[in-house]
Amino acid sequence: MSDIETFEDLGLTEETLRALKDAGYTKPTPIQAQAIPHILMARDLVGLAQTGTGKTASFTLPMIDILSTGRAKARMPRSLVLAPTRELAAQVAENFDKYGKYHNLTKVLLVGGVSMGEQIKQLDKGVDVLIATPGRLLDLFDRGMMMLADMKVLVIDEADRMLDMGFIPDIEKIVSKLPPMRQTLLFSATMPNEVKRLTEKFLSNPRTVSVSAPATASKMITQNLTYVQPRDKKKVLTQIIKQEKVANAFIFCNRKRDIADLCAHLNREGYTAAAMHGDLVQKTRTETLAKFKNDEITMLVCSDVAARGLDVQGVSHVFNYDIPMHADDYVHRIGRTGRAGLTGVSWSLATKDDDKYIKEIEKITKSTLPVVEVGASAKSRPAQKPAENAPQEKSQPNNQQKNQGKPQDKKQARPRPVRNADKDVKSAPVASKAVEQKGKAAAHTPVDNHEQPLEIKRADHKASGGRLAKESKLIENYEKPNANNKGRNPRYKDDEPSDVVGFGDDLPSFMR
C-alpha cells in the first residue's frame, strides 16, 4: 500500500472524492493511506493512531462508500461507531456530514445530555450510521429502541481512552449483541493489554496499521512549571494571567467543585470566565464553547472533558491549575494551545505532593519541565532524580538562568531542557497571529523570549524531602462510582459532551 499518494489511488467513490475536494484536502494522511484500502476490502483493522492524524476520516471515508449500497431498516442501524466522549462522537458525526454530502446516508448521534425523544424518532426512520457513546447506546438498547442484528460495520474509536474511562464492560456487552458476520475496526493511540484482549476477542484476522508516535508535547508550546502552596494557587494563577497578558486560556482543574470556585474568583478579578465540565447540560456546554470561540468568554475553566478533541483556533495559554494524575492528560491538555502552526504557552501549578505525577509527565514527554518561580508564594522544585528518558546530554542552562548569573549547584541541579521555544518558536508564526485572528490586542510571546517581570524568575533546584501524599488521599476527592455511573472510573464520571472539530491533539505529523 506504500505507493498510495492521492485519494484517487485509494479506490474511493467519485462522490466521496468530490467531497474531499470540497474539503480542500489534497492528499491522504499516512493513516488514511494505510487504512482505507484494507477497510474497502472488508478487512478487520486495528489502527494505531492518535487524534490529529486524520484518523477519523480514515474510517468514515471508506464506511461511507461501503454503506452507499443498501438501505437501512427501521430501528436496525447498519453501522456503529463507538466513541468515548460526546465531543468525539460529535466530531465523527461532522466527518460523516462533510465527506458524505454527496451520498444519501442517514446518521444519528446517540450521546448523553440530549433528549432521547429525537434520537428515538430518528432510529424509527432507519439509520445507516449510528454514532454513540457506550452508556447512551446501552440505555436505548435496554429500552428496546433498536436492534443491532443488521450491523455490518463496527468501529471502536479511541479504545485506550474507553479503557481509561471504564467503558470496556459496556463495549463487551454491546459487541455481544452484534451479529458475528460484520467488519470491525478498532482505533487506539496505545495498545494496553486490555485493548489487545479486545482485539483478539472481537476482531477476525485483523490488519494492523500504525502511525502512532509516543505522546509528545508539541514543540510549539513553551511549558512552565511553578511550585505553589495549595492556598496560594488562585493568587499565583491571577498573577501569571496578568503578567503573561493572556489572551484566552483553558484552565484545567482536577475537581469539579474547584471549577465553580475558580470561575467565581476569575470573574471577580474582572475576567470573563465560564465553566466546562460533564455535569453541565449539553446545551450549556455547546453555548459556552461557542462563546469561548468568539471571545465572549476568555477563560474556560474546565475538567478533562475539554482536554481532548476540542479544537479552538488561537488559544494563547493553557493552565494546569491542578497537575493531572495521568500523564497522558497533561499532553492532551496542553495540546489545546500551540496548534495549527501557532505558538502557545502552558503553565502548570504544582504543589509538593504532585511530584509523582510530574515525574510521569516528564517520562512520557521525554523532557524536563522548566521550573519558574512566581512571586513570593512559589516553592522551588523538590530535589529528585531526572525522569527516565529525560534528555540529559542536551541539558544546559537556559537564557534566564544565564541572565540571572547564578551558576547551578551541580549536586542539586536537574538537567534543564533546551527550551524548544527558544529556537523553534522564534521562527514559527507567533501566537500573536492567533490573537490577531481573534481581533485581540494582547499577544503573548514565549516566556523565554520576552522580558521577565521581576516577580517571575527561574527557580534553582533546592533539595527537599517533600515526598508525596498518598494517592488514595487525592483519589478521595474524586466522585465515587454509583448506580448511575455503573462503576466507571470515577475520575471520568464527568466525561462526555458537545460540538467539536479539528485536530484533537498535537499538530498532526502530516502538517509539520
Among candidate residues 144, 146, 112, the one with its CA nearest the CA of residue 129 = 146
Rounded distance between C-alpha atoms, residue 505 and residue 55, angstroms: 12
SS (H, E, C) 216-255: CCCCCEEEEEEECCHHHHHHHHHHHHHHHCCCCEEEECCC
Residue closer to ligand AMP, measured from CB, 308 or 352? 308
Asked if 502 interacts with ligand AMP (CB under 6 A), we say: yes
Residue closer to ligand AMP, measured from CB, 2 or 193? 2
Rounded distance between C-alpha atoms, residue 210 and residue 272, angstroms: 42
Residue closer to ligand AMP, measured from CB, 98 or 462? 98
Site for ligand AMP in 430-489 (CB under 6 A): none
Confirm if 415 and 395 have CB atoms less than 8 A apart. Answer: yes
Residue closer to ligand AMP, measured from CB, 469 or 511? 511
C-alpha dihedral (283, 340, 509, 389), degrees to nearest 10:
-90
Stretch that binds ligand AMP, among 198-206, 423-431, 458-466, 503-511 (CB under 6 A): 503-511
Rounded distance between C-alpha atoms, residue 192 and residue 161, angstroms: 10
Stretch that binds ligand AMP, among 108-116, 151-159, 477-485, 497-505 (CB under 6 A): 497-505
Kindly report the backbone phi and psi dihedral angles of residue 183, in degrees, each rounded to the nearest multiple of 5, phi listed first. -100, 130
Distances (CA, A) of 428 to 218, 343, 433: 12, 7, 10
Residue closer to ligand AMP, measured from CB, 56 or 282? 56
CA R_g for the chain: 23
The phi-psi region of residue 144 (left if phi > 0; otherwise alpha if psi is between -120 and 50; otherwise beta) is: left
Rounded distance between C-alpha atoms, residue 315 and residue 299, angstroms: 10
Stretch that binds ligand AMP, among 171-179, 194-202, 444-452, 501-509 (CB under 6 A): 501-509
Q: How far is the CB of 340 from ligand AMP (least distance, A)?
A: 9
Residue closer to ligand AMP, measured from CB, 54 or 370? 54
Q: How far is the CB of 484 from ligand AMP (least distance, A)?
A: 30
Among candidate residues 269, 341, 344, 342, the one with its CA nearest the CA of residue 301 = 269
Residue closer to ligand AMP, measured from CB, 187 or 319? 187
Q: How many residues bind ligand AMP (CB under 6 A)?
A: 15
Q: How far is the CB of 99 from ligand AMP (least distance, A)?
A: 9
Site for ligand AMP in 208-247 (CB under 6 A): none
DSSP category for residue 287: H
Q: How far is the CB of 359 from ligand AMP (least distance, A)?
A: 29
Site for ligand AMP in 22-61 (CB under 6 A): 25, 28-29, 32, 51-57
Q: How far is the CB of 203 from ligand AMP (least distance, A)?
A: 21
CA geometry: angle at 290 spanning 287 and 292, to 5°? 110
Q: How far is the CB of 61 from ligand AMP (least distance, A)?
A: 9
Residue nearest to ligand AMP (CB): 56
Q: How far is the CB of 82 from ligand AMP (least distance, A)?
A: 15
Stretch that binds ligand AMP, among 148-156, 365-373, 425-433, 498-506 (CB under 6 A): 498-506
Stretch that binds ligand AMP, among 191-199, 360-368, 419-427, 496-504 (CB under 6 A): 496-504
Asked if 16 interacts with ligand AMP (CB under 6 A), we say: no
Q: How far is the CB of 80 from ligand AMP (least distance, A)?
A: 18
Asked if 504 interacts with ligand AMP (CB under 6 A), we say: yes
Q: How far is the CB of 22 from ligand AMP (least distance, A)?
A: 12
Q: How far is the CB of 97 from ligand AMP (least distance, A)?
A: 12
Residue closer to ligand AMP, measured from CB, 51 or 288? 51
Rounded distance between C-alpha atoms, residue 424 and residue 430, angstroms: 10
What is the residue whose three cell numbers read 463507538?
82
124 CB-near residues (< 8 Å, 6+ apart): 74, 75
Partners of residue 187 on adjacent β-strands: 47
Q: How far is the CB of 431 from ligand AMP (least distance, A)?
A: 20
H/E stretch holding 209 reads strand 207-210
Task: Give the burial string for 275-310 (b: 16+ CB within 10 Å, else e).
Answer: bbbbebebeebbbbbeebbeeebbbbbbbbbbbbbb
Residue closer to ligand AMP, measured from CB, 62 or 504? 504
The phi-psi region of residue 326 (left if phi > 0; otherwise alpha if psi is between -120 and 50; otherwise beta) is: beta
> How would you classify the pairing of strands 249-252 and 79-82?
unpaired
Asked if 278 interacts with ligand AMP (CB under 6 A), we say: no
Site for ligand AMP in 350-389 (CB under 6 A): none
Residue closer to ligand AMP, measured from CB, 211 or 387? 211
Q: How far is the CB of 306 from ligand AMP (least distance, A)?
A: 15
Among candidate residues 267, 188, 197, the one with its CA nearest the CA of residue 234 = 267
Residue closer to ligand AMP, measured from CB, 60 or 445? 60
Residue closer to ligand AMP, measured from CB, 309 or 370? 309
Asked if 100 interacts with ligand AMP (CB under 6 A), we say: no
Among candidate residues 347, 346, 414, the one with its CA nearest the CA of residue 386 = 414
Site for ligand AMP in 149-188 (CB under 6 A): none
- For residue 320, the one-letter residue type is N
Q: How far is the CB of 187 from ligand AMP (least distance, A)?
A: 9
DSSP characters for 439-489? T-S-----GGGSPPPTTEEEPPPB-----PPPHHHHHTTSPPP-TTTTT--
Residue closer to ligand AMP, measured from CB, 28 or 100? 28
Binding site for ligand AMP (CB under 6 A): 25, 28-29, 32, 51-57, 502-504, 508
